[in-house]
């Protein structure tokens, strides 16, 4: 592909900076089990990776539980359980290779942000602990589902991130692991890397400009684009 004038990097969170899928699933499962609703990890992985929790509840709950106030209460309960699990971890490791990637890139691409379909409390609580808080310093802005009207695959969050960074979307590079996120980045008019932490390369390839098996691959792509 032709070289892009990349001036900003926008990272997804879950699956890109940190693998929180099991923590999210465990918290979600506790809440659903109280309503006698079964959700297997395999179903969660196949259908709901990268999907906002509120949407998951709306999809899984039978009509008898369709009251928006009740669903919101379940969401708050899930967040509380998740935060309690995070609180008990003294430090949280990042996705392998991401810290070296950020160290390599910080003097090449100065504008960096995060956009997550997760809520702000969860994202920021983890970010405080990722690699003992070291990752947090590499990002100027963190945008979450709390800041937008529509989550991924809608491009709103990525466009808002570009606006905060004061960079045109066409000069932004997105790193994503989910199909919802890749679609959001492409719809925003950005270049997108699919990071194969959640899905296989063959699944990501039709939706991404480049697919990386690891951050080593991502570094090679980005460095070639910025030379």
Q: Are 109 and 140 in contact (CB under 8 A)?
A: no
Question: How confident is the model over 75-86, as pLDDT tens digits?
Answer: 999 999 988 888
Q: What is the pLDDT of residue 158?
A: 98
What 3-state class would DSSP assign to 18?
strand
What CA–CA distance (Å, rounded) separates 133 from 2? 36
Helix 68-87 / helix 21-33 crossing angle, nearest 10 deg: 130
CATH architecture of the domain covering 8-19+91-226: 3-Layer(aba) Sandwich (3.40)
- Spatial contact of 222 and 107, defined as CB atoms under 8 Å apart: no
Rg over CA atoms, the chain: 17
Q: Please give the full DSSP string across 41-54, using - where no structure is assigned.
A: HHHHHHHTTT--HH
Distance CA 10, CA 1 (A): 20
Q: Determine how β-strand 172-176 pairs with β-strand 8-11.
A: parallel
pLDDT band at 2 (very low <50, low <70, confident <90, very high): low
Residues 6+ apart with CB under 8 A from 199: 177, 178, 179
- Residue 79 vs residues 74, 107, 123, 198: alpha-carbon distances, Å: 9, 36, 11, 22
pLDDT in tens, 13-53: 988 998 877 888 999 999 999 999 999 988 988 888 778 88
Q: What residues contact 182, with CB distance under 8 A and at least 6 apart?
A: 174, 176, 192, 194, 204, 207, 208
Residues 192-223 pLDDT 10s? 999 999 889 999 999 999 999 999 999 999 98
Q: Where are the domains of the chain?
A: 8-19+91-226, 21-87
**pLDDT, tens digit, 9 for 90 and up, residues 87-120:** 776 567 789 999 999 999 999 999 999 999 988 9
């Amino acid at each position: 592909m032709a070289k892009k004038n990349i001036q900003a990097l926008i990272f997804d969170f879950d699956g890109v900076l940190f693998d929180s899928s099991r923590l999210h699933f465990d918290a979600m499962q506790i809440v659903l089990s109280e309503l006698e609703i079964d959700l297997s990890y395999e179903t969660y992985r196949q259908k709901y990776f990268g999907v906002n929790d509120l949407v998951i509840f709306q999809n899984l709950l039978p009509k008898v539980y369709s009251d928006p106030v009740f669903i919101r209460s379940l969401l708050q309960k899930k967040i509380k359980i998740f935060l309690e699990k995070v609180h008990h971890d003294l430090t949280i490791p990042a996705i392998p290779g991401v810290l070296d990637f950020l160290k390599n890139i910080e003097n090449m691409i100065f504008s960096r942000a995060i956009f997550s379909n997760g809520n702000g409390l969860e994202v920021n609580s983890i970010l405080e602990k990722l690699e003992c808080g070291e990752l947090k310093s590499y990002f100027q802005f963190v945008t979450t589902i709390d800041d937008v009207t529509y989550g991924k695959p809608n491009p709103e969050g990525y466009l808002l991130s570009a606006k905060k960074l004061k960079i045109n979307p066409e000069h932004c590079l997105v790193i994503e692991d989910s199909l919802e996120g890749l679609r959001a980045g492409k719809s925003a008019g950005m270049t997108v890397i699919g990071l194969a932490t959640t899905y296989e390369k063959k699944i990501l390839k039709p939706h991404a400009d480049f697919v990386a098996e690891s951050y080593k691959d991502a570094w090679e792509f980005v460095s070639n684009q910025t030379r």
